[in-house]
Structure 1
Amino acid sequence: MIIFPAIDLKEGKVVRLTQGDYDQMEVYSDNPVEIAEQFEAQGATHLHVVDLDGAKAGYAVNEPIISEIVKNTKLFVEVGGGIRREEQIGKYLSAGVRRVILGSAAVTDFSFVEEMVERYGGSIAVGVDAKDGCVAIHGWQEGTKVDAFDFCKTCAASGVSTVIFTDIEKDGKLEGTNLEIYRKLCKIRELNMIASGGISRKDELVSLQEMGIYGAIVGKAIYTGTLDLRELIKGTETARK
């Protein structure tokens, strides 16, 4: 299982939200590139980046910073937040981003996802952010009646290879992740499933790995010191041997 440390960007700073609430925000650094370099030095090979400003605005606000992260590290960088046009996908991929995550655009115009997957293959992922079992969009600020699990199955049937699934109610609370939903999601064999939201204990990561989860995003727990990134990476590598 791949560990993805997370960098959420707002106004050029590294922040963490609680349950996607922009009013419950903690700033951890004003130097995102330095944070990415620190993650790499601790053994990370992959990085999950979210442009929170972009998610609300509908376009890539923090693209220059993300490009700098790619230039200054060898990390496999996946990016989400405000990506709703092919032009932006092309810019990110040309800059060296390895995977682009479609969120709101995937829900509001699924034909766009199908077209982009056909064109860019595995470089396109879908972010499914769930609240009360349904998908939320526009930076988690707007709910829908789209069932989150069914939407994941639709993604798989349409050729999407990777889904990042976030339980909003767990995110940023350091109270544990929703293992039950990931046990269910693992049954969608066609998908590489990345778990996100509330992961705060080593035993949760062990459980996710045993399920066959492809990747796990860890955010607030490593910023607060609840989990040690270096130890997590070593632990998952050892388990794979």
Structure 2
Amino acid sequence: MNDSTQRVAIVTGAARGIGAGVAARLAADGMAVAVLDLDEAACQTVVDTIVADGGRALAVACDVSDPERVEAAVATVAEKLGPPVVLINNAGVIRDNLLFKMDVEDWDVVMNVHLRGAFLMSKACQAHMTTAGFGRIVNLSSTSALGNRGQANYSTAKAGLQGFTKTLAIELGKFGVTVNAIAPGFIETEMTQATAARMGVAWEDFRAYAVSQIPVARGGTPADIAATASFFCREEAGFVSGQVIYVAGGPRA
């Protein structure tokens, strides 16, 4: 793409892990990328890498659960990079616990970031997409949507994102906007390492057990998720909408 036709993408939760990997891949695909996360300084590291590789990128601090901050962030992206027509709803948190130990705050914060955040970001960006007659929204679900012990909040939020995906695909399709979801399995990131630490399990043991359950016999990487996101965002993927792809190294649904 040249500068006059370069599409603009927003990736939330992009300071590290899957989000950073997706941001880098979309930039390599020729998009200008807004890197959103709570900490702008952490976003800047990802932006600097993209720029060093010849891309265009912008770091923007944003709490995706806050309507005013979402509106301000999207307006900043539109002003500095151009109207965002690609949105990757990746921002997420975990507050794992068994149901009888889970408090309301742990339930609410997970719902607010995953579901409220995806709703607010999609609502703010869809006007730019429908005006352009082209849009791509990709929501990050999880294999936990199928149910996972100790994750009543996270599993519910990730399952909810699948329903959100299918509904937006129906509503926005006639405007040239596709909406799809990716459900990652075990991906080796700082978040999964933190999970191992919280459980008191050595990372190598935690990883080895997870890999032993995966048919392709390896853990996933952010690049695996980024490759699928890249496909969904392409022009030629315009007839694929309302789908959930499990990127988990084997059949999960």
Tell me the TM-score normalized by structure 2.
0.36
Question: Which has more helix, going by share of residues?
Answer: 2
